[in-house]
Structure formats: structure tokens, C-alpha cells
Structure 1
Amino acid sequence: MKQSRKNAPIQILFPGAETWELWAIDSVEQRQTALAVPAFCGPAFLRVLALPVTSTYAIPLWMIGRNSEELRGAAELHLEKDGLRREDEPDGFDFERILAQENRVLVRVDALAKSVLKLGEESPAPDSICLAPKLLGIPDDQIVIWRELGRLVTAMARGGKLVYHNVLASSVLDGRAAEEVVRWARQFQFQGMVNPCSGITVWADEADLDLAWLQEKTGLPVTQAALPVPHFRPEDVSAILPRFAADLQARERRKVRTRRLLAGSAVLAGVLLVVFAVALVLALQNQKVLRDRIAALLPAASEIEQVQLRWEEVASAVDPERSPLEMMLLFRQLAIGEGISLTRFERSGERVAIKGRAVSPSEALQFLGAISRSEALSGYDWTYAQPLIGQDGTATFEIEGTATSVNP
């Protein structure tokens, strides 16, 4: 069952005796998995990468400095002088105070070696980086020897702090390896960096390992024990950040930003969808209200239309301006004098036609012009042709009018 982040274990990627090991440590149990390729996997609350001894230098130095900034500057100058400062690793070194004596400070300078490890391509980035010996809890004033990724390594501590660690030239625990560890211990003791050695501790799982010869050769008591389970403490975190780890962290930050952008886009799309849905619902509601109002007005509109039709039927009889008798009276008023006589008057719907005779063409044209200019008859569009002149000099005329507007 997949664990939640609340009870997810701390993962420690640790260099074992022969292969890399992934330790999953929580409050209930400790689980170890051997790995062919170093990589983190599965859920974890915190991922810790243990830098192996073979990937780092540890150099104990006496320095004069009043603050961390001065000590860091002096440590960097020392690494550059010895050719150990890597330009391709801007965060490739760190230092730790061991103790202070009068006007000097004992520090351990840590620097990445050229053979620094790399994690698998699909591995998540480490959250913290530590030196592998610090996770094992090196006992004070003891020369500690153990096997790491097929190589023999050694370390010493003072006052609960790691003073130095190193890779032995010999790959097996023999006389040459014994001479090397004792030589290093005596050199650091002579410089006042470590206390007199009280014994040698060999971390090994072999039950039949014969270490009597080592005690005889060095004159120091020798103890064998199993390699401790790595234990993470926040104060053991190093400021060293290998380039590959920085690249992995940058890749994960980009993934987080991408997920946040996608989540934000999804939220925005959801908000827009909700707004669109609300607008659509309101539009449909307004449309329904409008349809209901139109449906309520349709009977009244139909009744008004019927009244208008009935009015049109009787308008010519009740509207003085549209009554045939009224129109005849208007024509008579326009026919000035005795020279105009109307022989025919016809009205059909919106069309009016008049025929008549005049004593002369000029009288006829004057009468026709008076009709077309009459304000009372301006609701009609009047058309007429030239009067016909008879042998006796009289003129016959005809004029037609078509209603252009309807007076209620």
C-alpha cells in the first residue's frame, strides 16, 4: 500500500561495503535495499545522499580566523594552493569547526574529488547531502576501518566531530593498511589535531575475521563490530552541492512549476466554465421570461390587429378626410369658376381616379396642378397625363391618386 507523506520514511542513499544501499528509516523499522545504480525511489519525507569517502577529501587544518567568512576564505585558498578546488563545482567544498585553542581554530575542510558519483537518470533529487562517515557515528579517539564500495576507508573523530577520513591504498586489511592508518593517526596526533589513539575499531560482518595480528603489529587494542545503520541528524548536513545534484533539484523545481501552472490553468478553465454556465443559465432564464411576456401579449396584439382591420373597413365612411363625399367637396373647391366639370369619380381601396372636362387646356392644367399641390390631398401620390384637346377647344383630363399613408 502506498504510504502517505505523513508517515513516509527518511531515505538515505548510502555507500555499502560493495554496492550502494537505500535505507528507508521510520519510527517503526529500518529497511535496506541493495542497488546496482545509486538512485532514490518511492515516497520519502526526506531524501539524504551520503557522499562516499572515495568522492571527497577531508583535510584537517589549523587556521586563524574570527568568523565563518574568514575561515571559508582561508579554506578556499588552501584548496586552490593544493590544486583541490574544482572550478566546475562552484559549491564543491565546505568546512566544519572542530575545536578552538587560544588564537587558532581546528577545522576540517571537505572538497569534492574528481571521481564524484552520479545518480541514476530517473532518480529524484536529494534534499540533503552529508558525508557518509558522519552518518555512522565515528567513535572518539579511535582509528575506525571499514569497507566502502569495495575499498578500505578509515576515519577518526574528536569531541563527537569527524576530524578526517581517507581511502587506504590497500584494498585488503593487511600489514600495509595497518601501517598506513597508524602513520596518519600519529601525524595528526603530533599536530595536536586528535587525541592519543585508544584503539582500533574494525567494522566488518565477517565472523571469522582474525585481527590478532593487527593488535600485535600496532600495539593497540582491536575491536570488531558490525557496520552501524546510518543515522541522519540535521546538524550533519553539508553545504557541498555537486553539480549533478543541483541539476536534479533544478529539474524538480521546473516540474513543480509546470504542475502549478497546469493546476492554475485548470482552475482558471474551471472558473471560466462556471461563469459561462451561469451566463448561459441566466440567458436561458431571460429568454424564457421574454417568451412568457410575448405569449401574454399575443392575445392583446391579435385583438388590436382585428380592431385595426375593422377600422380600415369603416374608415372611409367615418373619416372626413377619407370620405368620398368629403373628397368630392375638396375637388369642387379646387375647381375655381365654371370652366371645370367632373364627369367621373371612382375610388377603390387606396386608389382614386377622376375624369372631367375644362373649357380650355390651361384651365385643365391649372385644376390638375391644384390637386397635386393640395395639402388636404397630400396623402396621395397623384399622376396625370396631358389633357386631350377637342375640336371645339375644350380639354378632357384624367388624374389618378394612390394613397401613400393611412390616416387612422
Structure 2
Amino acid sequence: MSKTTENVLLVPGESGWEIWSGPSTAALTLHSATTIDKAGDLTDIPAGDLLLLFPVKAITAVPMRVSSDDDALFADLAALHAERIGLRPDPMAGQLTDHFIIAREPENTALVSVYLRVPGEGDMPPRGPKSFDISARAFPVTGDTLAVWKELGRWVFALFHQGNLVYCQATSVTAASPDEDLAREIRLALMQLGLQGMEIEPTRVVVWTSLEITDTSALAKAFQPTPEVTPRPAPVLPDPLSKLLPADVRAARREARRKQNIMLGVAAVALIYVGIIGWFGYGLWKNNSETQALIKQAQEAAPEGEAYALHMAKWDELADAIELGNSPVEILKNIASCIPPNSGLRLRTADISASEIKLIGEAQQLQSVTTFNLNLTKNQDLSRFEWQNPEPNQSTRGWEFVYTGQLPGAQN
């Protein structure tokens, strides 16, 4: 089973920031409530996916109607509307705008655009959030409702249609209970929405507060529904989450992605390097294994090799007796074939062994002796002998010669 993700929400409370946490599959619980009014001063933020809910005072909400029901056009239409009323977010400050659908009809859609002010010093928590949204979208509301609550010491209000946020605004009112100034600002907001063709008649007025006794008479005079006083509900993850992303967080994420890409590149190179080493190592191991196998085979065959070597040694000892080429008769036959026909050359002595030959002979003509000498040195069957053939001597009977042949390495 996969591990459940722990969500951590930073929520602007009545007098300071609150930290809520819990798994994705369960309701969030209050981790701690502080009196810190700057998110950058928060400490001991638990581990998990961090979501920062910007307070209402950090945004400007702009409701509008557009003559389209094509979601792909909403962003451009919202940007054109913002330019007409003088809202121009700094494009270098990150993603500071988003829009949400209030109600949809054929060729007519009610939207609310949200414009985030550029976060100032200390407005961002010490740990970079994974995502951002606004507090007015994090509290579950049903029907057409006017919700009033305190954020960081100031009263704020939000208008909802069928549970969807229509408009929200922070006021300068810091009184303990909602007063007439707050009621007047809410009435002005409702009038402005009516001029834009977005008639909102709250059927429920709710005041979220932790105080046991809260004076709601100013709201009761201004609005027909009787105000309800209840503790503020636990926040929930807005669905869908906004696309808000301040520049410093976006830059940090880009830097993190850059470092991650570098690490992935280094890891890939290291993996290739390890792979090459492994490949060569496997080759060496394979060669070593083959070598060891051959050595083992050689060791196993060693007794047979020794027996074969002994057999060959004995065969060599008997070679003079059993090989036809070493037979004196065969050698003499080869010598006789070298005598020129009808030359009158004859051998008086022929001492022949397998390794040495000595021939003493004579002939009437010198040419016969010379031809015999040449035939001896060219005979293929006698080529293993090294011949010593000195010049013949002339005698009263013609020409005498003494030729010797010896195998290389044989001793006299």
C-alpha cells in the first residue's frame, strides 16, 4: 500500500497564523495557533506537503460575466477585463492571477478573478510551499451565504453562490464585533455586484468567531437573515487548487529542478561508468573463468599427456628400426637412384645408418662424379642429411670421391 500524504496548511487566524495538518484521506486538525502575523516568522512547521492560504487582505477579487462557456478563453477574457479596470500584475513577479467559475450557463459564465499582491518581506514561510490558494476558498460553505470572520486582527467577508466564492474583501475594521462600518462595506460590495449583473441575495449570514459573546446587531439591521454566530469551520483543501505561484517560489522551484536535472545527469553518467566497468569486469571474469576451465581440463588431461609423451619417446627410440625412411636398404636405394645411368660410377664402400652416411666411390669421368654429387644434394628423400662433398681426386683409374652425409645434431 502507498504511504498516505500528510498535508500541512498555513491558515490566517483571528490574531495570528494557524498550522493545520492531516492526511489526505481525513479531516485536518489544528496543530498550533500562534499570535505571529508574519508567515516568515513561523517555526516548527511539521513535515508534509505545505499549502499556504493567502489572507483576504493579500488579494483583490474581481467578479465578472463573460459571453462564453469555453474554459480555454476564460484566462484571456479575465486579463482583458482586468486591464479595463486598471489591474496589471507584474509579469516578472510570478503567477499572481487565477480565476474560478461561479456559475455556468450556455454562452454565459460567471467568474471571479483573483489578483495576488506581490508578497512583501516576511510574507512567505521559511519553507517553500508546494502550492498556494486563498483562505476564502478553504472554508466549506453551502447555498448563497455571507460569511464574516476575522483574519490577522481585521474583519473580512466573503459572498458565496451555491457554495462557490463570488467575492471577498478585507476591511479596516478591527472592532471586537462586526460594526456598522463593516455592514456598510458589505452593502456597497453587494450594490457593485448588482451593477455588474451579478445579483446576490444572501439567504444566510454567518459570523465565524471564537468569542462566546459577539454583538451582531449591526449585521442584523443591514441584512434580513438573522446572523448566525459559530466557530470558524476547519479548513479543507480547495478543489481545484489555484495556480498562484509567487516569483521567489517559482525561482526556487526552477533552481531545484535545475539541481535535480544536474543530479540526474551526474547519476546517469555514473550509471554508464559503472555499467562500463561492470561490462569489462564481466569480460575479465568470463575470460578468467574460461582460463580456469582450460587449466582444469589441462590438469585433468595431464596424466594422459604424460602417457602420450612417454609413448612418443619410446616410438622415437624405435624410429630407426621401424620407420621405412631410416632403413639402410631404403637409404641405399635412394643413393643408387642418384648415380647417372651408364656413367660407370660405382660405390666401393657405403657405410649407412639412420643418422650418418659415408660413401667412397670412383668413376672414369669427372662429369659423372659431379652429376652424382648434384643428385645427392637435390634428392628429396635424402634432403634431411647435411652433405660434405669435397672435390674428387684423380687416380690411375679415374676419379675417386669420399662423400659424407649426417643428420643435423647427430654426433660423429
User: 2 CA distance for matches of 1:202 and 1:351?
Assistant: 133
Going from structure 1 to structure 2, the CA distance change for 1:114 and 1:335 (only over 3 Å counts) comes to closer
Supply the AA of the counterpart residue of 1:154: F
User: 2 CA distance for matches of 1:144 and 1:187?
Assistant: 18
State the match for 1:313 in structure 2: 317
Q: Are residues 1:31 and 2:36 paired?
A: no
User: 1 CA distance for matches of 2:113 and 2:337?
Assistant: 129
Shift of 1:163: 1.8
Can you list the C-alpha shifts for 1:240-279, whole angstroms capped at 9, x where unaligned? 4555555566667674996799599869968996997699
State the match for 1:42 in structure 2: 47
Supply the AA of the counterpart residue of 2:318: V
Does the 8 Å contact 2:145/2:206 carry over to 1?
Answer: yes
Going from structure 1 to structure 2, the CA distance change for 1:329 and 1:238 (only over 3 Å counts) comes to closer
State the match for 2:385 in structure 1: 380
State the match for 1:57 in structure 2: 60
Query: 31-40 vs 67-76, which deviates more?
Result: 31-40
Q: Are residues 1:345 and 2:351 paired?
A: yes
Going from structure 1 to structure 2, the CA distance change for 1:329 and 1:233 (only over 3 Å counts) comes to closer
SS of the aligned residue for 2:381 comes to coil
Query: 109-118 vs 69-78, which deviates more?
Result: 109-118
Shift of 1:24: 0.8
Q: 1:193 aligns with which of 185, 189, 198?
A: 198
State the match for 2:13 in structure 1: 16
User: 1 CA distance for matches of 2:21 and 2:205?
Assistant: 30
User: 1 CA distance for matches of 2:391 and 2:230?
Assistant: 139
User: 2 CA distance for matches of 1:63 and 1:108?
Assistant: 11
Shift of 1:325: 4.3
Shift of 1:165: 1.0
Going from structure 1 to structure 2, the CA distance change for 1:118 and 1:338 (only over 3 Å counts) comes to farther
User: 2 CA distance for matches of 1:376 and 1:103?
Assistant: 114
How high is the TM-score relative to the length of structure 1?
0.71
Can you list the C-alpha shifts for 1:123-171, whole angstroms capped at 9, x where unaligned? 3623xx4331121235766654433345443222233222211222455
Supply the AA of the counterpart residue of 1:136: F
The 5 Å alignment of 1:264-343 reads 280=285, 284=289, 290-291=294-295, 293-295=297-299, 297-332=301-336, 334-335=338-339, 338-342=344-348
Does the 8 Å contact 1:97/1:107 carry over to 2?
Answer: yes
Supply the AA of the counterpart residue of 1:15: P
Supply the AA of the counterpart residue of 2:351: F
User: 1 CA distance for matches of 2:196 and 2:223?
Assistant: 21
Q: Are residues 1:232 and 2:243 paired?
A: no
User: 2 CA distance for matches of 1:385 and 1:121?
Assistant: 112
Q: 1:83 aligns with which of 49, 70, 86?
A: 86
User: 1 CA distance for matches of 2:366 and 2:56?
Assistant: 133
Shift of 1:42: 1.9
Shift of 1:59: 1.2
Shift of 1:306: 2.8
Does the 8 Å contact 2:9/2:20 carry over to 1?
Answer: yes
Shift of 1:237: 3.0
State the match for 2:98 in structure 1: 94
User: 2 CA distance for matches of 1:102 and 1:366?
Assistant: 126
Supply the AA of the counterpart residue of 2:170: V
User: 2 CA distance for matches of 1:215 and 1:331?
Assistant: 145
SS of the aligned residue for 1:376 comes to helix
Supply the AA of the counterpart residue of 1:21: E
Going from structure 1 to structure 2, the CA distance change for 1:269 and 1:100 (only over 3 Å counts) comes to closer
Shift of 1:58: 0.7
Going from structure 1 to structure 2, the CA distance change for 1:302 and 1:17 (only over 3 Å counts) comes to same
User: 1 CA distance for matches of 2:107 and 2:401?
Assistant: 142
CA RMSD of aligned residues (A): 4.9
Supply the AA of the counterpart residue of 2:161: R
User: 1 CA distance for matches of 2:333 and 2:181?
Assistant: 148
Supply the AA of the counterpart residue of 2:208: W
Does the 8 Å contact 1:39/1:123 carry over to 2?
Answer: no
Shift of 1:396: 4.2
Does the 8 Å contact 2:158/2:166 carry over to 1?
Answer: yes
Does the 8 Å contact 1:157/1:194 carry over to 2?
Answer: no
Going from structure 1 to structure 2, the CA distance change for 1:311 and 1:6 (only over 3 Å counts) comes to closer
Shift of 1:231: 1.9
Query: 265-274 vs 297-306, which deviates more?
Result: 265-274
Shift of 1:76: 2.0
SS of the aligned residue for 2:407 comes to strand
User: 1 CA distance for matches of 2:380 and 2:59?
Assistant: 115
User: 2 CA distance for matches of 1:233 and 1:121?
Assistant: 23
For these two proteins, the number of residue pairs brought into alignment is 393
Q: Are residues 1:133 and 2:139 paired?
A: no
User: 2 CA distance for matches of 1:98 and 1:378?
Assistant: 114
SS of the aligned residue for 2:325 comes to coil
Gapped regions of structure 1 (runs ≥ 5):
none
Going from structure 1 to structure 2, the CA distance change for 1:390 and 1:148 (only over 3 Å counts) comes to farther
User: 2 CA distance for matches of 1:93 and 1:121?
Assistant: 23
Does the 8 Å contact 1:54/1:115 carry over to 2?
Answer: no
Can you list the C-alpha shifts for 1:75-103, whole angstroms capped at 9, x where unaligned? 22111222324334685433334347998
SS of the aligned residue for 1:136 comes to coil
State the match for 1:110 in structure 2: 114
